[in-house]
Amino acid sequence: MRRLVVLASFALCATALPSLARPLGAQRLGRAEPRPKLRDVTDTNDAQAYFSAGVASFRNDPQYAGQAFYWAARIDPSWGDPLYARRAALLAQKQNLLNMLMSGNSRRSRNKDLQALDSLQARALMLNPFMFRRLDEQLFMQYLTDGNRNVNLAFELSSYMMQAPPATRGWYAYSLGQFDKALRAYAEALTREREKAWLHLERARIFGMRNDVDAAVEAFGLALQELRTKDDKSLVVLYDSKAQAEFSTAVLLEGAGKVDEARDAYGRALQEDLAYYPAHMRLGLLALGQKDTTAALSELALAAQIASGEPFIRYMNGYVLGAAKHTDEAIVELQKAIELEPYYALPNLVLGAQYEAQSKGPEALAAYQRFLATASARDPQRKYAEARVEDIKEYLNAPKTQ
| Average pLDDT over every residue of 109-120 | 82
Which of the pair, 214 or 107, is modelled with greater confidence? 214
Residues 105 and 243 in one domain: no
Residues 200 and 125 in one domain: no
Residue 55: inside a domain, yes or no?
A: yes
Residue 236: phi and psi, rounded to 5, are -135, 130
Distance, CA of 288 to CA of 34 (rounded, Å) = 39
- According to DSSP, the residues that pair with 235 across neighbouring strands are 18
Distance, CA of 129 to CA of 148 (rounded, Å) = 33
Residues 123 and 151 in one domain: yes
pLDDT digits (tens, 9 = 90+) for 87-111: 999 999 998 888 888 776 555 656 7
CATH for 245: 1.25.40.10
What pTM does this model have?
Answer: 0.88
Domain range enclosing 182: 176-275
CATH for 142: 1.25.40
pLDDT digits (tens, 9 = 90+) for 21-41: 333 333 578 788 999 999 888
Residues 107 and 34 in one domain: yes
Decide if pLDDT at 9 tops 70. Answer: no
Q: Of 270, 266, 272, which Cα lies nearest the Cα of 286?
A: 266
Residues 142 and 229 in one domain: no
Angle, CA of 222, 225 and 228, to the nearest 5°: 150
Inter-residue contact 100 to 9 (CB < 8 Å): no
Residues 4 and 101 in one domain: yes
Distance, CA of 188 to CA of 104 (rounded, Å) = 21
Question: How many C-beta neighbours within 10 Å does residue 44 have?
Answer: 16
At 193 the pLDDT is 87
Residues 136 and 206 in one domain: no
pLDDT digits (tens, 9 = 90+) for 295-329: 999 999 999 999 999 999 999 999 999 999 999 99
Residues 147 and 202 in one domain: no
Distance, CA of 106 to CA of 380 (rounded, Å) = 48
Inter-residue contact 124 to 81 (CB < 8 Å): yes
Residues 17 and 150 in one domain: yes
What is the distance of C-alpha 264 from the center of its chain?
A: 22
Distances in Å between the Cα of 213 and the Cα atoms of 28, 145, 205, 253, 255 are 32, 38, 10, 7, 9
What is the distance of C-alpha 229 from the center of its chain?
A: 28
Instruction: Determine the residue type at 268.
Output: R
Name the least confident of 113-127, 136-150, 179-193, 241-255.
Answer: 136-150
Residue 386: phi and psi, rounded to 5, are -60, -40
Helix H or strand E segment including 69: helix 62-75
